[in-house]
Amino acid sequence: MSAPKTKTTAAFFFGTFIAAALAGCAHDGRGGDRSIPFTEAAVATAGDTASVLSWNAPGTKTVTIYAASDATHASHDKAATQGGASGNAEVSAPPAAPRHYFEFVPDRGASLTLADRSLHLASAPNFRDAGGYRTADGKWVRMGLLYRSDQLDKLSPADLETLHAIGVKLVCDLRTDVERKQGMDKLPLGAEGLIADVAGPNSTSSDLGKLLSKGGDAQALLGNGKAAQLLIDANRQFVESPSAKQAYKLMFERLANPTMLPGVFHCSAGKDRTGWAAAIFLSIMGVPRETIMRDYLLSNTYLAGKNAKMLAALKGRIDPVLLQPLLDVRPEYLQAGFDAVDKDYGSMDRYVREGLGLSDATIQALRTEFLAG
């Protein structure tokens, strides 16, 4: 007997309608302490030719920063800038490269290599590095190895070439079969695709998707807080549904293989299914929940322009106030997922091991590959 079809929440189907520190090699050329002394550090793009760097490394005296051609190779022939234990600096970007990395070298301890979190892809604005965060025990999640994104079926030739240039080897597609049929991923040359359908193969478009596509009465379905509740319920389902557990397990088991890196995981908007995947990843790494929440909320910034165009296209068909909660990420959405984990498993560690079924070997492989310091 065939499995019964299930309906999905807005997080699963809405994209069909509207269609994230490399702590570089943690080496210390001077020997001694190999821990990374930076408690904060970041790189942000300032126009086409400059980058803004910031850092804080208590206990050090000087920090020298070098431009890097990629996540692991920095030339120490000439420093981009130098400062004290903490500082801010604007420097010229390195020569033309897919990304501009900078190696922060303290006078004691191991270095840290970072880049701007966003790749600034015009056709995938929520494509960003999943690393670059400090863990609770002082390690850093490497950059340049794992990315999170919105839909990849609309990639421009130039953006597709960028993904090839940064060496993407695995693209994990968290979307439904309906979404994939409406727009297949554009894979960079040499990359492998992985289908990890969070909603499950028997999911169908929900009543909301059908209603909106026909220009129906959205007020009845989305008004009075119902739209936000859809996303709250969705995040609970990411934790509880068998299809979601299976999809996330498959994704992380594949990412534990270093030959599959750099990797990308994505859904349609890159905020809900992808947002929970990022929360799992950063939790495995040991990143504090408050940092994970900040990363989650960045989708509002990166998707602002894309969402504005979408609302403009729907003008006259639906009240933007009703639709906005589906386009947003809000703290209560992700918190619903955390609450479900705490209720059912007691901790993210138990959820990863017992809920997703990731083995100790897989978890250790992920930490070995993605953590430095």
Cα maximum dimension of the chain: 69
Q: Give the total residue count for the chain.
A: 373
What confidence score (pLDDT) does residue 219 get? 75
Domain chopping of the chain, boundaries: 6-20+144-372, 40-116
> Using CA atoms in the order 115, 259, 31, 107, what is the torsion angle rounded to 10 degrees?
0
- 334 close to 279: Cβ distance less than 8 angstroms: yes
- 16 close to 10: Cβ distance less than 8 angstroms: no
The dihedral region occupied by 138, where left means phi > 0, alpha psi between -120 and 50, and beta the remainder, is left
What confidence score (pLDDT) does residue 9 get? 46
Return the SS3 of 17: helix
Question: Can you give the three-state secondary structure of 189-210, one letter per residue?
Answer: CCCEEEECCCCCCCEECCHHHH
What confidence score (pLDDT) does residue 30 get? 43
What confidence score (pLDDT) does residue 96 get? 67
The second-level CATH assignment, the architecture, of 40-116 is: Sandwich (2.60)
In tens digits, what is the pLDDT along the chain, a chain of 373 residues? Answer: 434 444 444 444 444 333 333 333 334 444 457 899 999 999 999 877 789 999 999 999 999 999 987 888 778 888 999 999 999 999 987 666 788 899 999 999 999 999 999 999 999 999 999 999 999 999 999 999 999 999 999 999 999 999 999 999 999 999 999 999 999 999 999 999 999 999 987 665 444 555 555 555 777 778 888 999 999 999 999 999 999 999 999 999 999 999 999 999 999 999 999 999 999 999 999 999 999 999 999 999 999 999 999 999 888 888 888 999 999 999 999 999 999 999 999 999 999 999 999 999 999 999 999 999 9
What confidence score (pLDDT) does residue 21 get? 33
> What's the pTM value of the predicted model, to 2 decimals?
0.90
What confidence score (pLDDT) does residue 223 get? 85
Task: Give the Cβ contact number of residue 241 at 10 Å.
Answer: 19
Task: Looking at the chain, list the stretches that DSSP marks H as alpha helix, in order from N- to C-terminal side.
Answer: 10-18, 157-165, 177-182, 207-213, 218-222, 226-240, 242-255, 273-285, 289-302, 304-313, 320-327, 331-344, 348-350, 360-370
Q: Which CATH number is 6-20+144-372's, of 3.90.190.10, 3.30.420.10, 3.30.565.10, 3.20.20.150?
A: 3.90.190.10
